[in-house]
Every structure is written in C-alpha cells, then in structure tokens.
Amino acid sequence: MDLNKLTQQVVKISKSAGDLIRENTKDFKYSDVEKKGINDYVSYVDKTAELFIIEKLKPLIPEAGFIVEEKSVEYQGEHYKWVIDPLDGTTNFIHGFFPYSVSIALMKDNDIILGVIYEIGLDECFYAYKNGGAFLNDKKIKVSDKSSFTDSLLATGFPYDDFEKLDKYLELLKYLTQNTQGIRRLGSAAVDIAYVACGRFDGFYEYSLNPWDVAAGVIIIEEAGGKVCDFKGGNNYLFGKEIIVANSHIFEKLKEKISYFMS
C-alpha cells in the first residue's frame, strides 16, 4: 500500500466534503437541526457529508470497514477501518461559528496509519501517514518547542452530555488557568489536536470524546513529534473517551496534573 498516494487521495476527498459543507451553509437554517441527545446535535449536512465521504472512500480499499459518527454504514471490515467525522464541531456549524472540520483516519488492525483533518473556515488541511511526517497544506509541521509550563498555551473542550466528572474538571481548569499562559476552547477536538501538531497550542486534553473525534489527530500529532495518552497515562485514548496530547517538553507535567485532578 502506497500510504503517500492514499493520503493525497483522502486529502482530496476531505476538501471536496468541505466544499459540500461550505455550499450548504448558504441555505442552512437552525430549524434543520435534529437533536440526538442532551446538547448533541446533527443536521442533514452531517449526514450528506458522511454519505459522500463513504462513497468516495469505498473504492480506495474495497474490503475496509467504517467507524462513523452518523451510522451511515454497518460493515466493520477485518483489517482496515475508516474512522470518519464528517463535521467535527456541529454545534459551531449550526451557530455559524468557526472552526469546524472534516476528519478522516485509516486504521490497520489497531494501528492508525493515516489521518486527515480539513478545517473549512481557514481552508487548512492537516495530514499525516505512518512514518511519513505531518503536514499543513503541503508544508511540514512539528509541535512547539515550548518547555516552560507557565508559558504554555493549552486547549480543552467541555463535556456536553457527561457531567459526572465536571466538578473535578473545573478544579483542573482552575489550576491550569492559574499556572499556564491560558486555556482556549474552540469546539472541535480534531482542530485542537491539529493546532498542537503545528505548534499553535502546546497541549490539549478532553474527556467524553469518541474515536472519530480524535483518530486522525492521533497520527498527525505523533508524526509531528508530539505525545499522546489517556488520563491515566495509558494508550486507551481512541475508545476510552479521554485524551491528552502535547509537545514532549510539557507532556509529563500536563499528564501528571490531569491524572491528579481527574483520578
């Protein structure tokens, strides 16, 4: 398998899906929104984009399965699986607020081997494949070299339906607000991770996430020289619903503080 060629094909598909989403913003109305659960929304745009992406990906690896947010397909595949979020940041989208993105990753067995995140508002495409480096619009990227925790800019997201850990999360937020350069909340986990990969943020953490929120970001952050783990310091970040990513200098301290406050 030529991962470089395959990644470029997925980049084109991601951008085409982004064009589809961008075109649909012209006539989109809040009344088009459906509610899946508490603060969990979907629109015909999510569903249309997902079906478009699936149909474009199918010929690339005919035997591959799919892990998708809107459940457009059921086939899981034996060795290869596409992990797709057709519109990461739906709440942002329905309010006309950037960023929101298309996120596509490919897994071989339990290993993520390529990832693409296309941020629609700024027309920025982040991508990486196994042992091939990480890129933003065809220019190589790497995580920041910020070594001082107090000078680090972090990103996070807030849970929208799982509030069991919210008190601990707010205590952690208070500590990090007082001991870093600041915290940002963009509303798209895929974009947050991509921004760590290119050095705009120095670290990111969030819980109550799904595989399609983070899969593409994981390979991009690793290929950009960053580190990733779950809140316990383990590797259950894809299906364990929690993730920490950071540059290698502040990673250990961020992991230590998150583990302390969230345990």
149-262 in CATH: which number?
3.40.190.80
Cβ neighbour number for residue 54 with a 10 Å cutoff: 18
Q: What is the pLDDT of residues 20-61, one digit of tens each?
A: 999 988 877 777 677 765 545 567 888 899 999 999 999 999
Strand partners, 116: 104, 127
Q: CB 12: neighbour CB atoms within 10 A?
A: 13
Higher-pLDDT residue of 73 and 183 is 183
Query: What's the mean pLDDT in 184-212?
Result: 97
Task: Summarize pLDDT for 73-121 with one digit per residue, the tens.
Answer: 666 677 999 999 999 998 899 888 999 999 999 999 999 999 999 999 9
Which residue in the block uniquely carries the two structure tokens 């399965």? 65
Whole-structure pTM value: 0.94
Contacts of 81 (CB under 8 A, 6+ apart): 64, 65, 66, 67, 106, 107
- Please give the torsion angle defined by the CA atoms of residues 184, 166, 258 and 223, in that order, rounded to the nearest 10 degrees: -50
In which residue are the tokens 């693409």 written? Answer: 116
How far apart, in whole angstroms, are the C-alpha atoms of residue 71 and residue 86?
A: 11
DSSP state of 30: G
214-240: burial string, b at 16+ Cβ within 10 Å, e else:
bbbbbbbbbbbbbbbbbbeeeeebbeb
In percent, the amount of the chain with pLDDT more than 70 equals 93
Is 59 strand, coil or helix? Answer: coil
> Taking the domain 3-140, which CATH number applies?
3.30.540.10
Query: Of 136 and 42, which is predicted with more confidence?
Result: 136
Domain ranges of the chain: 3-140, 149-262
**CA dist., res. 90 & res. 103, Å (int):** 12
Give the confidence band of 163 by pLDDT, cuts at 50, 70, 90: confident
